[in-house]
Structure 1
Amino acid sequence: MERRQFLKGAALAGGAAAASTLAAPAIAQERIEWRLVTSWPKGLPGAGTGVDRLVERINTMSGGRLHITTFAAGELVPALRCMDAVMDGTAEMGHDASFYHHGKDPAFSIFFAVPFGMTAQEQFAWIAFGGGAELWDELNAKYGIVAFPAGQTSAQSFGWFKREINSMADFQGLKMRIPGLGGDLIQRVGGSAVLLPGGEIFAALQSGAIDAAEFIGPLNDLALGFQQVCKISYGPGVQEPGGMMQMMVNRAKYQELPADLQEIIKVACWQMHEDMKVEYDYGSGRTMETLRLEHGVEFLRLNREVLEGLGKAAGEMVQDMYDNGDDYMRRLWQSYFASRENTMRFLRFNEQAFLNARTLDFAFPSRGLG
């Protein structure tokens, strides 16, 4: 999907959504009406379409008792103001990436992704079984919200660049759109991190306001048109080895709901987490071929010198956060790395070894079975 077509469709869909909202009939007395704001352009593959599925699921599972109306980025509040909207009651729910709130507390970024940290499955294991959910709730309670895992980008791309990155010196002076701890990492190695919502990245690349940008991976990148400005896409996304999206709910409003509706929201969010991950896993591989064959994009891998340089800087960054953190930050990092070490033990022995084995030189059937 070309960027122009995608954005035109998003605008038409947004207008239709606004019109249908204004024309809505009187609310039935027994039905609870909620608003959900997102950080994503209307219809964005993965993040945007995942929200659409979630809302449909909640509306259906609740038997219409809880009805949610969705507002894409900019329709009700700006893309990066979702958390504020949920906190102040402008909307009851908000879907975004927690690292957008790094300025409120750097701990929010840890619950999205940590450079050289945990993969998608390792991170979810920490949340579900390793004590991560309790620490996350402790943080969110300070801001009057409840949050659930609600989407997973899987391992992201490192980003789009106008020139090659062959050494650590190439980061000096580089202006890159990259939020959260990944942004802190780029600044640590000599670059400048810029926070922009997805819908504003193309224009910033085109104008030269930024030299590079990362935004999830091929499935979204094609829709947003980055290939029209840059022809180099780097991997692996060491800055975000697994990005956990979140669904925020106003804490007071959530607690007012009957127990079954609370559970429906939680279960629907957790299902969305798995839905979105496999949508990105499947769609990104297919889209890579479109970008390569039809748009001349080069998919390059960061070399060993750069990977080791970034890894060293990331380790120093995390150690500094721990050493200079308060009691909560220290407990958070201790829990994070205890879970990371635990899950890595078996994944290295089994899954990583299998992925390595799959690259060995032996014949194996492919799509062209005959």
Structure 2
Amino acid sequence: MERRGFFAGALASPIALSAPALAEGALPEIRWRCASSFPKSLDTIYGAGEHVAKRVAALTDGKFQIRVFAAGEIVPGLAVADAVQGGTVEAAHTASYYFVGKDPTFAFDGAVPFGLNMRQLNAWLQAGGGREVLREFFEGYNMVSLPAGNTGAQMGGWFRKEIRTVADLDGLKFRIGGFAGNVLQKLGVVPQQIAGGDIYPALEKGTIDAAEWVGPYDDEKLGFNRVAPYYYYPGWWEGALNLSFYIAKPKWDELPQLYKDALESACRDSTIETMAKYDVQNPQALRRLAAAGTQLRAFPREVMQACYRATFELYEETAAKNANFKKVYDHWRAFRDSQYQWFRVAESTFDNFAYFMHAREQQRP
């Protein structure tokens, strides 16, 4: 058994797995297939699923093996939820907001516009009751969802033309996933749901006018800077994106408790690992993109305010006609209000002052 790996997993979770339990020899050998929504070329976001599989194997002495398949190897990236539900695979690694077409409530398991940052979202899911309120929703799809990775705040995407006013959004064909596409539709945008590997050719050919993916590290790998000059920020629809490990509920129920504990621990560890990697990789990639001629642009305040108003109008409209959405939204909104009050007092004040002083120091001759 990998002792170093074992202790890393134990630190990532309050669950401690006992070696004597593994030595009893009564635990079954289990082999699962996991369909990822991501291509292997995006090593960090795809790697979050592989990290889960490796940790589970290490924590169970190799008795519980999960093999991860990249998008398209078993099913397309946007079909992984159906594959889990239909029994094609036992598990999937994905972003839940891909499936808002089934029910907009899925978005809360991934990211929603003007929502929570990474720490706040992790708090809601792990200790603030978020997983509990979402569990009932996922049971309706015969699945269990575990948080398994996070990208942090994302960028606003790559645009072939500048966005100066709200009017510039009218008719814009924008590759954007999740609930945010519905928000932007209210402002005239034509949202496009396109899997990661298909975005570049659509942007290059002009089939779409703009595209968002994750952030500098992944976007550089996909080469978006070669076909669109303007790189906008922030991705107000993803203050943090929780990645999810879907499991067919019958398969989850069959697992010995030790294997459930191993899987939960591995998923928590993957969340920490993925966020750490992006925090290291994104600043370096952004510097390279800027040096290569990418033009960074902040979304104009007028545009941000219009998007904010449209977001909360849509929340209320959706909650009024969707009981699942309303139940999760009411819980999420109350948690968000509490978090914002606290973060404005200490976290935001500290961050803003430190960034301001650093900027002043950088300007000195």
TM-score (ref. length: structure 2) = 0.89
Deviation of the 1:363 alpha carbon:
8.6
What is the rounded CA distance, in whole Å, between the counterparts of 2:327 and 2:135 in structure 1?
14
Structure 1 residues 258 and 173, CA, compared in 2 at 3 Å: closer, same or farther?
same
The AA in structure 2 aligned to 1:325 is N
Structure 2 runs not aligned, ≥5 long:
1-26
Structure 2 match to 1:98: 96
The residue aligned with 1:341 is: 337
Question: What is residue 205 of structure 1 aligned with on the other side?
Answer: 203
Question: Which residue is equivalent to 1:153?
Answer: 151
Instruction: State the SS of the aligned residue for 2:288.
Output: helix
Q: Which residue of 2 aligns with 1:298?
A: 295
- Map Cα deviations across residues 97-147 of structure 1 (whole Å, 9 max, x no partner): 001111111100122111111111111111122221112111110111111
Secondary structure (helix, strand or coil) at the match of 1:292 reads helix
The answer as to 2:86 corresponding to 1:75 is no
Match of 1:19 in 2: none
1:45 and 1:219 in contact (8 A); partners too: no
Give the 3 Å change call, closer, same or farther, for CA 361–143 of structure 1 in structure 2. closer
Secondary structure of the residue aligned to 1:46 is helix
Name the structure 2 match of 1:129: 127
Q: Distance in 1 between matches of 2:94 and 2:138?
A: 14
Q: Decide which of 234, 251, 268 is 1:236's aligned counterpart.
A: 234
Residues 281-318 of structure 1 show CA distances to partners (whole Å, capped at 9, x for unaligned) of: 2211110011111x211111112111111111112111
Q: Alignment identity in percent?
A: 34
2:8 maps to none
C-alpha distance in 2 between matches for 1:97 and 1:297:
27
TM-fit CA distance, 1:92: 0.8
Confirm whether residue 351 of structure 1 aligns to residue 354 of structure 2.
no
Q: Evaluate the alpha carbon distance shift between residue 360 and residue 42 of structure 1 in structure 2; reply closer, same or farther with a 3 A threshold.
A: closer
1:176/1:212 contact within 8 Å kept: yes
Residue 331 in 1 paired to residue 327 in 2? Answer: yes
The one-letter amino acid paired with 1:330 is K
In the TM superposition, what are the counterparts of 1:1-370 in structure 2 within 5 Å? 30-293=28-291, 295-326=292-323, 328-361=324-357
Is the 2:51–2:266 Cα contact (8 Å) retained in structure 1? Answer: no
Distance 1:77 1:329 in 2: 28
* Paired residue type of 2:254: E
Once the 2 structures are TM-superposed, how far is the Cα of residue 43 of structure 1 from its aligned partner?
3.7
Deviation at 1:365, TM superposition (A): 8.4
- Whole-angstrom CA distance in 1 between matches of 2:261 and 2:71: 27
CA distance, structure 2, for counterparts of residue 244 and residue 353 of structure 1: 25
Moved more, 152-161 or 275-284: 275-284
Deviation string, structure 1 residues 185-238 (Cα, Å, up to 9, x no partner): 111110100001100000110111110001011111011111110111100111
CA distance in 1, matches of 2:235, 2:32: 36
- For 2:47, the aligned partner's letter is T
Alpha-carbon contact 1:130-1:335 (below 8 Å) kept: no
Aligned residue type for 2:352: N
Q: Is the 8 A contact 2:49 2:245 kept in 1?
A: no
- The letter of the residue matching 1:335 is H
Question: Aligned to 1:316, what secondary structure does the other structure show?
Answer: helix
After TM superposition, the score normalised by the length of structure 1 is 0.88
Q: Supply the AA of the counterpart residue of 2:89.
A: A
User: Cα distance, 1:30 vs. partner?
Assistant: 4.5
Q: Count matched residues.
A: 336
Specify the SS of the correspondent of 1:70: strand
1:50 touches 1:276 (CA, 8 Å); kept in 2?
yes
121 and 361 in structure 1: CA distance in 2 versus 1, 3 angstrom threshold:
closer
Distance in 2 between the 1:361 and 1:281 partners? Answer: 21
Q: Distance in 2 between matches of 1:256 and 1:363?
A: 55
Letter in 1 for 2:339: T
Cα separation, 1, equivalents of 2:299 and 2:38:
28
Query: For residue 12 of structure 1, what is the aligned residue in structure 2?
Result: none
Q: Give SS of 1:359's match.
A: helix
Q: Deviations along 1:224-280, whole A, 9 cap, x unmatched? A: 111110111100111111111100011101111110001100110111111111211
Q: 5+ unaligned residues in a row in structure 1: which ranges?
A: 1-28
Deviations along 1:120-179, one digit per CA (max 9) or x if unpaired, are 111111112222111211111011111100111100111110011010000000000001
- 3-state DSSP of counterpart to 2:53: helix
- Aligned partner of 2:202: which letter? A
Partner of 2:21: none
Q: Distance in 1 between matches of 2:359 and 2:184?
A: 41
